[in-house]
Amino acid sequence: MTLTFATDASNATPLFALTSDAYDDWLAHQPTPTQAWLKATGYSAGLGKVALVPGTEGEISIAIAGLGSEKSRARGRFALAASAKALPEGAYALQGDLPGMDLATEALGWLLAGYAFDRYASASGAKAQLVCPQGVDAARVEAIAAGEALTRDLINTPANDMGPQALEEATRSLATQHGAEINVITGDALLTANFPMIHAVGRAAAQAPRLIDMRWGDSGPKLTLVGKGVCFDTGGLNLKPGGSMGLMKKDMGGAATVLGLAHMIMALGLKLQLRVLIPAVENSVSADAFRPGDILTSRKGLTVEINNTDAEGRLVLADALDLATEDGADHIISMATLTGAARVAVGPDLSPFYTDDNAVAAALSQAAQSVSDPVWRLPFWEPYEPMIEPGIADLDNAPKGGFAGSITAALFLRRFADAGNYTHFDIYGWNPSAAPARTKGGTGMGARAILDALPKILPL
């Protein structure tokens, strides 16, 4: 599917997007037949409510998209997109500005309302197309929409069709599209190349574990994105109960999100050197599965006691992060569906992130608000460091007690990255119920905020 703006504006239906408060004043200035029609239908510009006003020949002369009250808008995102699916197929040209709303973000929401995952069954998103509003960078918005669609498609695809090999192929396709270089280390070659924890986590699966390494750009600051690519997580020998395993196709959501963000960066031609690292594995059960009580030696040389094989994401990320630090990156960002603790703390909408750099945190928080991609800073709380130090090894992959699980996981990862230029996102990657511009299922989190904040994070 292609999420793009309407190309022919000449026959587009005028679209008025009106808040509940502004509706009465707007109506008072309309022709008498329009007033009579809308009053007869009882229209009130509630959020997502659509009105179609007929012309003299029975055509649609104008359409109205209700933006609702300030309270209803504050309780959601993408208010304009709330009307997209209710409008008939055709092109629509927005009239005027959207008071107090970012026009580019609302236009993006409209494009995303057209998304549907249709690989296995017929499905369709909104058929109404929007003419790109004046002053909005159409190419940028379309690139962001395409990146988000890529992320959603990858997460929504089940593990039988999105294992480590398929994730590698998806990355190769993206590299080909943008002229990027790619290198993949697979199977026992991971041991030779010194990625022991990626190998340990993935060696029990039918498909060999691998480290996917994509590079793009030859000038500008260096940005490295590291995405957790656990294509399915059984929990390993600490087997998950069935109810907890049902959504584990999304455990490669970090990889899917960094690939979507990479598409945005490359499609927009940002002047930077991009590197994407994805440790792609399945955490499976077999005779050679790693065990509780094992002690693994990481690429960095730190030893890790395995107290729960279901805390595997941080293990594969650790080896990839250590590699990332060797390249002298100006900034490293990891994204992972890492902990249930993060969901308990902030729910499915917010993306918790960690950084030691207050300027980076401020840039991300400001960008998130601007582009309606909410994030929330959590602390690298150093008094919790002893919780990840078991004594028998340098680190514990699953501290007992259950407290501060997202924080201790972030502290674990920080041991393998340069703390001064590292940001970690503990995302969910899944929308549990449909909302405007956000279908139920796989979803990108934090990528648009990062993209918007990059000029403040890096010297672009």
Residue 1 has pLDDT above 80, yes or no: no
Tokens of 83: 């009307």
Residue 444 has pLDDT above 80, yes or no: yes
Looking at domain 13-114, does it have CATH number 3.40.50.970?
Answer: no
Tokens of 363: 């840039």
pLDDT digits (tens, 9 = 90+) for 274-314: 999 999 999 999 999 999 999 999 999 999 999 999 999 99
Confidence category of residue 420, pLDDT binned at 50, 70, 90: confident
Topology (CATH) of 142-457: Aminopeptidase (3.40.630)
Write down the pTM of the prediction.
0.98
Residues of the chain above pLDDT 90, percent: 96
* Alpha-carbon span 425 to 456, nearest angstrom: 18
Tokens 């499905």 locate to 123
* Alpha-carbon span 115 to 182, nearest angstrom: 28
Active-site residue numbers? 240, 314
In this prediction, residue 97 carries a pLDDT of 84
Confidence category of residue 96, pLDDT binned at 50, 70, 90: confident
**Cβ atoms within 10 Å, residue 246:** 10
SS (H, E, C) the chain: CCCCCECCCCCCEEEEEEEHHHHHHHHHCCCHHHHHHHHHHCCCCCCCCEEEEECCCCCEEEEEEEEECHHHHHCCCCCHHHHHHHCCCEEEEECCCCCCCCHHHHHHHHHHCCCCCCCCCCCCCCCEEEECCCCCCHHHHHHHHHHHHHHHHHHHCCCCCCCHHHHHHHHHHHHHHHCCEEEEEECCHHHHCCCHHHHHHHCCCCCCCEEEEEEECCCCCEEEEEECEEEEECCCCCCCCHHHHCCHHHHHHHHHHHHHHHHHHHHCCCCCEEEEEEEEEEECCCCCCCCCCCEEECCCCCEEECCCCCCCHHHHHHHHHHHHHCCCCCEEEEEECCCHHHHHHHCCCCEEEEECCHHHHHHHHHHHHHCCCCEEECCCCHHHHHHHCCCCCCEECCCCCCCCHHHHHHHHHHCCCCHHHEEEEECCCEECCCECCECCEECCCCHHHHHHHHHHHCCC
pLDDT digits (tens, 9 = 90+) for 146-173: 999 999 999 999 999 999 999 999 999 9
Q: Which regions of the chain carry the CATH code 3.40.630.10?
A: 142-457
Q: Which regions of the chain carry the CATH code 3.40.220.10?
A: 13-114
* Alpha-carbon span 242 to 172, nearest angstrom: 33
In this prediction, residue 405 carries a pLDDT of 98
Residue 2 has pLDDT above 90, yes or no: no
* Alpha-carbon span 95 to 50, nearest angstrom: 15
> Which residue, among 371, 368, 452, has the nearest Cα to 78 in the 3D structure?
371
Confidence category of residue 219, pLDDT binned at 50, 70, 90: very high
- Rounded to the nearest integer, the mean pLDDT of the chain is 97
pLDDT digits (tens, 9 = 90+) for 350-387: 999 999 999 999 999 999 999 999 999 999 999 999 99
CB 406, CB 320: distance < 8 Å: no
CB 436, CB 428: distance < 8 Å: no
